[in-house]
Structure 1
Amino acid sequence: MINMKTLPGDLFGGITAAVVALPLALAFGVQSGMGAIAGLYGAIALGILAAIFGGTKTQISGPTGPMAVVAAAVIAGEIAIYGSVDAAIGTIVATFVLAGVFQILMGISGIGKYVRYMPYPVISGFMSGIGLIIIFLQIFPFFGLKSPSQIVDVFTSLGTIAGNINWQAVGLAVATIAIIYLFPRVTRKVPSALVALIGLTLVAVLMKLDVPVIGDIPKGFPDVHIDTLLSMDWHHPMTMVIPALTLAALGAIDSLLTSVVADNKTKTKHDSNRELIGQGVGNVGAGLIGGLPGAGATMRTVVNIDAGGRTRLSGVIHGLGLLAVLLGAGTYAAMIPLPVLAGILITVGVGIIDYKGLKHITDVPRSEAVIMVIVLILTVFVDLLQAVAVGMVLASILFMKKMGDVAEEKAQATPLDMEEGSVMEGQDKEHQIYVQTFDGPIFFGFTSYFSQIISELPNVKVVVLRMEKVPYIDQSGMYAIEDAVLELEKRGIEVFITGIQKQPEDMLRRIRLIPEVIEEESIFKDFETFKRFVNIAKSEND
């Protein structure tokens, strides 16, 4: 139901967002290799469907820089196999649709909440790498030349630029960048990218500049590629599954980060899982009509909110506004110079780079800086999915190492003075009770140190495992304790446990360590109770 109180703001917000989205959609479409129309199709389908089904009321969705880079890699790979976009369209559409399906499954399974655990060095390196890719791929269009599809080919072909520069194209690209950065000083009410797009297109047409242009754009509603999907060869699905997973994961991260920005702007709270479902539905729709996949777009979302957008209607209006452009302005869009789009994309790439992370690279821990640099390099020169995977693995190993070191520092092994019932400093062979205090989770990063402690125990009769501060034990920790207890039992050493919490106790009971090896009578609710037990036992012996 339309809220009349928010309707004016939603109308203005949606229209403003559409104005901002138009040049970006066209530019991303050209960069992808499928043509400007693919970017427009994607912005329309995703913009409308994600607004309706998503979990962030003010989010504006469409092709974004990171998603366009991955989509371009997918398209380039398929063109290399099939020879042209038309021949590869079935596989391309299937990959984009499958990415949307994966996002829907991510939303249904509740995986959205785990995106918050993505380490900052990985995100920073990845986003900076994406920004550099966008910039590098615009080097040739900046000079009025056709760009290679691969970054490596861009660098190996740089020597061919000097003798083929189109100075008119360079002038348009430089003017585009200048307008985008300088026009906001005049006014921010009109998007500077749109001013550059329209103004410099008019200049190129009126002055009859000899520069490459977008060219013919299909008119009317797009075709639906259901027949193409049904008739294609599905014998090698993994060639589509891996790229689709990359797109789905990247789109999820991109969208949910934008949702957080929207929450901060509007003081609301988004539904992460519903947002993923909405993005998935939108990307399925975009793929079916041959459009680029996309995600929540931060800049367009902020523009929408600042212009008054407050409900899902603003996102729908944004999509309908782009649809109106598709139906009525295709002839004019065909005349847009590619150097102008190159200038727009260069500013997009510059904006994506994480300058804060790069600025503090010498101030953060060296290991985290190394992870960021590795992810950045792999993103640019190898593969985006591999870059994120390597970054996550390195960050996880680093985290486990740090937590293991902390656990080792806090773990204390001391003798218990039976006369006084208190813990003493140092080691005294006359004391027969040894106390092992744990401080934190017992997990695989700590198990080797724990095994070392047990093997180096002095000659004692009793070992007490203090577990008051152990909230969690993983499988490695569980088996480490089991092995340690069985080893101590073989040596004739009795084992007691004090203060064990529910999760660790449940784990030890599942493997029957409790009560088959450690009897119920050997478990005490806290260490003070155990000390009273020791003193009573000693009194009775005396």
Structure 2
Amino acid sequence: MNQFRPKFFTTIKNYTKQQFLSDFTAGIIVAIIALPLSIALAIASGVSPEKGLHTAIIAGFLISFLGGSRVQIGGPTGAFMVIVYGIVVKYGVDGLIMATMMGGAMMILMGLFRLGSVIKYIPHPITTGFTSGIAVTIFSSQVKDFLGLRIESVPAEFIGKWEAYMSAINTTHLYTLLIGIIALLIIVFWPKDKIKIPGSLVALIVTTLIVQISGIDVMTIGSKFGELSSALPMPHIPAFSLEKVKVLIGPAFTIALLGSIESLLSAVVADGMIGGRHRSNTELIAQGIANMTSGLFGGIPATGAIARTVANIKNGGRTPVAGMVHALALLLIMLVFMPLAKLIPLSALAAILIVVAYNMSEWREFIGLLKSPKSDVLVLLMTFFITVLVDLVAAIEIGMVLAALLFMKRMADVTEITELTRDNAEEDDSFTPSFDRSLLQRLPARIQVYEVNGPFFFGAADKFLEVINEVDGKTQTLILRLRNVPAMDATAVHALKRFISTCKKHKIKIVFSGLKNQPREVLAKAGIIELIGEEHIFENFEDALLFAESIHSHQIIAQ
């Protein structure tokens, strides 16, 4: 684990009292921001309110202490809400704990195998599609509490959920709706830049006081969950079994992938703001340890939270100490004030999550991507609609497969296989700029030249065979120009073997020119260089042509 180097141990070497004061202030402010969010996200995820705080405290501390970013703030986020709720409904709280711990183990493995940089290459339309889909799902899940609808059980499916809302719209509770609107207005219009206290906390305090002073009948956390514990839970490991692991492997992988993507995106955003550079693999290992520990204490999945990380930076946090202070401050708040949380109206929490959903939606980014190439738009819309209508697991799986297929098609379209003839000597062909075109003018009739431009892989193999199958039956020597091929795969090797076999049947000599390092290594390992002979491979086209002409001359003399 030599790549596991937490930033805490790097930054603490030259730590100063002044930096501690800045980190301490930032940590307290971030804790105040995280408090209402952690409670709201836990309830929306189908678990009790205190589990959100347990996650923010335990996972938040470990992510800062062991992570690869100087300023990352970890905890429960809206992105996990959908997958957590689905796991709780299907497999119960024990199933969620198992999936969280399994997902954490996967994240550790990702870090150990140095996959931190690979995860960054997930296409932007996929991340935007499922993030926007999650935002729509979060908003949909809060309609019942925001309006105070009298529905005993809300369907998990998006369409079923809205059908239930529409059929029960006449049961809207006006006082509940009024409290929700007041909370929403406070959050939206609270002067964020002038006052450090977050509008979401102010909204909770104001609406709770209104409900308690007026005595109006509004559903609160206490009326739904009863008394809340202010103590940290004891560690608990659910009974793992092979059958449970099999059914939870999909959700666990989604937790791992989603947590990895969000944490690394947050770290990249933070790097841009502070001019730093995070350690992606260390961050993944820390996220994995944090999630396994969170699950051990009955918490929910956690990851790097972009909004809280940005708030940390803006308030002076520059080392992991700020994130650790944030976790300890939340612990103190929970120990002292948790019993009061039962007075918070559910419609105020719903208002907080509606704002979270709006901020997650990235609707401007979504609309902007609709102007992208059709393949990107297809990936975006498919990921979005599958996230909303099916689930996040299927959305990521199908989105990744579709993006990969479209990328392969795009690369195959980019790769060109063309025949170079005497006519090309007079053309302005951008594909063949790197040699003297006059060489083509002296091509003997029985020497053919083909050029491959672009990656030579399975997407382009069929195109290669289609073109090469048109080789003139009178050809004696064929030059294959590969100077513009940066990479080659096994399918391309297979296509070349078929091509060489066909040429041997027709007694056509083969010459390669301009092989780059990767294709040369691939062809050497596959035995193709040995098959055609090292003497048939040349660095430049002119030498290859001279060799082909000498073969042609010998054949004429022999005749």
In 2: Cα distance, 1:324 partner to 1:152 partner:
42
Q: 2:472 aligns with which of 426, 448, 458?
A: 458
In 2: Cα distance, 1:424 partner to 1:536 partner:
17
Shift in CA distance, 434/360, structure 1 to aligned 2, threshold 3 Å: same
Q: 1:156 aligns with which of 159, 163, 167?
A: 163
Matches within 5 A, 1:81-120: 88-120=92-124
CA deviation after TM superposition for structure 1 residue 260, in Å: 0.5
8 Å CA contact 2:448–2:478 kept in 1: the answer is yes
In 1: Cα distance, 2:192 partner to 2:56 partner:
28
User: Which digits, 9 at most, give the CA deviation of each residue in 1:324-349, with x for residues without a partner?
Assistant: 11101111111100000000000100
In 1: Cα distance, 2:460 partner to 2:163 partner:
48
8 Å CA contact 2:447–2:548 kept in 1: the answer is no
Q: 2:175 aligns with which of 168, 173, 195?
A: 168
2:252 maps to a residue whose letter is A
Which residue does the alignment assign to 1:423?
440
Q: SS at the partner of 1:364?
A: coil
Mean CA deviation greater in 158-167 or 191-200 = 158-167
In 1: Cα distance, 2:200 partner to 2:68 partner:
29
Q: 2:319 aligns with which of 307, 311, 318?
A: 311
Q: SS at the partner of 2:25?
A: helix
Shift in CA distance, 530/361, structure 1 to aligned 2, threshold 3 Å: closer
In 2: Cα distance, 1:466 partner to 1:104 partner:
45
User: Which digits, 9 at most, give the CA deviation of each residue in 1:211-262, with x for residues without a partner?
Assistant: 1111135334322343x42x45443321222111110100000100000111
User: Which digits, 9 at most, give the CA deviation of each residue in 1:460-519, with x for residues without a partner?
Assistant: 11111111121211111111111111111111111011121222122222222221x201
Matches within 5 A, 1:518-537: 518-534=532-548
Which residue does the alignment assign to 1:335?
343
Q: 2:420 aligns with which of 409, 414, 417?
A: 414
Number of equivalent positions: 524
2:503 maps to a residue whose letter is L
1:466 maps to a residue whose letter is R
Which residue does the alignment assign to 1:28?
41
8 Å CA contact 1:76–1:149 kept in 2: the answer is no
1:66 maps to a residue whose letter is A
Matches within 5 A, 1:281-292: 281-292=289-300
Matches within 5 A, 1:375-414: 375-408=383-416, 411-414=417-420
2:219 is the alignment partner of 1:205: no
2:263 is the alignment partner of 1:255: yes
Gaps of 5+ in 1: 79-87
CA deviation after TM superposition for structure 1 residue 534, in Å: 4.3
In 2: Cα distance, 1:399 partner to 1:284 partner:
35
Shift in CA distance, 217/7, structure 1 to aligned 2, threshold 3 Å: farther
After TM superposition, the score normalised by the length of structure 2 is 0.90
**Alignment RMSD:** 2.1
In 2: Cα distance, 1:114 partner to 1:300 partner:
25
Shift in CA distance, 220/363, structure 1 to aligned 2, threshold 3 Å: closer
Q: SS at the partner of 2:448?
A: strand
In 2: Cα distance, 1:106 partner to 1:221 partner:
33
In 2: Cα distance, 1:251 partner to 1:162 partner:
36
1:176 maps to a residue whose letter is A
CA deviation after TM superposition for structure 1 residue 17, in Å: 0.5
Gaps of 5+ in 2: 1-11, 426-436
CA deviation after TM superposition for structure 1 residue 94, in Å: 1.4
**Structure 1 vs Structure 2: percent identity of aligned residues?**
33
CA deviation after TM superposition for structure 1 residue 398, in Å: 1.2
After TM superposition, the score normalised by the length of structure 1 is 0.92
1:458 maps to a residue whose letter is D
Shift in CA distance, 323/359, structure 1 to aligned 2, threshold 3 Å: same
Shift in CA distance, 329/385, structure 1 to aligned 2, threshold 3 Å: same
2:447 is the alignment partner of 1:433: yes
Which residue does the alignment assign to 1:223?
233
8 Å CA contact 2:510–2:536 kept in 1: the answer is yes
Q: SS at the partner of 1:293?
A: coil
User: Which digits, 9 at most, give the CA deviation of each residue in 1:391-433, with x for residues without a partner?
Assistant: 111111111111111112xx32123699x972259xx9x7111
Shift in CA distance, 185/323, structure 1 to aligned 2, threshold 3 Å: closer
In 2: Cα distance, 1:33 partner to 1:506 partner:
54
Shift in CA distance, 180/68, structure 1 to aligned 2, threshold 3 Å: same
User: Which digits, 9 at most, give the CA deviation of each residue in 1:299-335, with x for residues without a partner?
Assistant: 1001011001011100000001110111011111111
